[in-house]
Amino acid sequence: RLLSLLIKPEKIIMLKMIAKLLKVLNSETDPMQISLALGFAMVAGLTPVGSLHNLLILFLVLFLRVNLVTFVLGFGFFSGIAFLLDPIFHLIGREILTWSSLNGFWTTLYNTTFWKLEKGYNTIVAGSLLISLIFFFPVVIFSRISINKYRDHILKWVQKTRLLKLLKANKLYQVYQSLSGVGGGS
């Protein structure tokens, strides 16, 4: 409560999000579950929320049991970036939707109920979906490699520091550990 008096509420929310992200990174969660969550969050966050493919993304997130905290945080992050990238998505979408060689293909898709529900005829939907699908696998692979490197080097180094050893020896930390389930506490 004292912390909320000293720090603005939006900064407290950001600090809590960073703490949750660090908790996920430091946990024993499979790096692939975290990486897939980030990839799916990128697709869902960069594309308009009302698009039909986001329902498929949500199903995959729940079916594949990816890390939900990472998905929610990533979705918020990429949704914020999407507003900045919308003009670029519009240009890319307009370009691919107006290619004369694809007119027949787009006309066929437009006449399907799925494509109308997907709103694939919208330049921002088309551009953002194309870009997010192109970057899906690179984001998943890069984040998995980064998580492994973080855990192998930075996390192991932090765990060996005297400061962390002193904090872990503290009774308050032990109570926190037992209540939060961090580090094998019940």
Residue 63 scores a pLDDT above 90: yes
Residue 67 scores a pLDDT above 70: yes
In whole angstroms, what is the distance from residue 17 CA to residue 64 CA?
Answer: 23
- 133-155 per-position pLDDT tens digit: 999 999 999 999 998 888 887 77
Report pLDDT for 93: 94
Tell me the percentage of the chain whose pLDDT exceeds 90: 44
In whole angstroms, what is the distance from residue 135 CA to residue 164 CA?
Answer: 37
Average pLDDT over every residue of 48-70: 90
Q: DSSP string covering 65-91, please? A: T--HHHHHHHHHHHHHHHHHHHHHHHH
Band the pLDDT of 185: cuts 50, 70, 90.
very low
Residue 87 scores a pLDDT above 80: yes
Report pLDDT for 164: 57
- pTM for the model stands at 0.76
In whole angstroms, what is the distance from residue 112 CA to residue 117 CA?
Answer: 9
Helix (H) or strand (E) holding 48: none
